């Protein structure tokens, strides 16, 4: 009887502790401790865990990508930019999204195959995300939304500084070759 009573007491204490922890976690604002893009964690397109901290100290261009969009040919310019600037501490980071016109309906395998075979994409691709504000929004885009900008369509671009701060936002129409995007990246690369 004493063992059973001890077991019940341990169970009650454990449940109370778990409830207390859960309530505290839920009361914390989403992303409250995230002060840098590079503090975030997600997963790669193949499902393996991805710590964005591996890009700390680099300039990143974050792009919400889609395989069946009028802007999809921008993959070519993004890959060219990635290859050209990677030695200088730069990375393009692709986040597939099916938010706009359902233009990224594929499985992770289909997305990876399309990107490799069509555009020879070598820059990191991550799991499909929801960019739009709401309960399903990815923590990645919740953080990026702090800039005052969320994508209005596929291939919107954020320039992220070496410290993980959002430095600039460019809408879909701004191509990888555009002087304003190239200028923002060059300025970020030149910064300490």
For residue 142, give every residue at least 6 positions away whose Cβ sits within 8 Å of its Cβ, in sequence order, or none: 30, 31, 133
Catalytic residue flag (residue 69): yes
Rounded CA-CA distance 19/14 in Å is 9
Helix (H, G, I), strand (E, B) or coil at 52: helix
Rounded CA-CA distance 151/149 in Å is 7
Measured from the Cβ of residue 95, the count of other Cβ atoms closer than 10 Å reads 23
Cα–Cα distances (Å) from 110 to 6, 45, 61, 124, 174, in that order, read 54, 10, 23, 15, 26
User: 67-80 burial, b for 16+ CB within 10 Å, e for fewer?
Assistant: bebebbebbbbbbe
Number of H helices, E strands in the chain: 5, 6
Question: Catalytic pick from 69, 81, 85, 185?
Answer: 69
Catalytic (active-site) positions: 69
């Amino acid at each position: 009887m004493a063992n059973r009573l001890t077991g019940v007491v341990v169970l009650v204490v454990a449940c109370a502790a778990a409830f207390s922890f859960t309530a505290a976690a839920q009361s914390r604002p989403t992303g409250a401790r995230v002060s840098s893009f590079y503090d975030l964690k997600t997963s790669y397109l193949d499902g393996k865990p991805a710590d964005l901290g591996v890009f700390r100290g680099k300039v990143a261009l974050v792009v919400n990508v889609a395989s069946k969009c009028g802007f999809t040919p921008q993959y070519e310019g993004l890959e060219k930019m990635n290859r050209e600037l990677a030695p200088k501490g730069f990375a393009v980071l692709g986040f597939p999204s099916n938010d706009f016109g359902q233009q990224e309906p594929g499985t992770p395998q289909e997305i990876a195959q399309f990107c490799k075979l069509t555009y020879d994409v070598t820059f990191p691709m991550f799991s499909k995300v929801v960019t739009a504000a709401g309960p399903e929004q990815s923590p990645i885009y919740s953080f990026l939304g702090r800039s005052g900008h969320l994508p209005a369509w596929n291939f919107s671009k954020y320039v992220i500084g070496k410290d993980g701060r959002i430095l600039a936002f460019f809408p879909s129409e701004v191509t990888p070759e555009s002087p304003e995007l190239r200028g923002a990246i060059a300025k970020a690369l030149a910064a300490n």
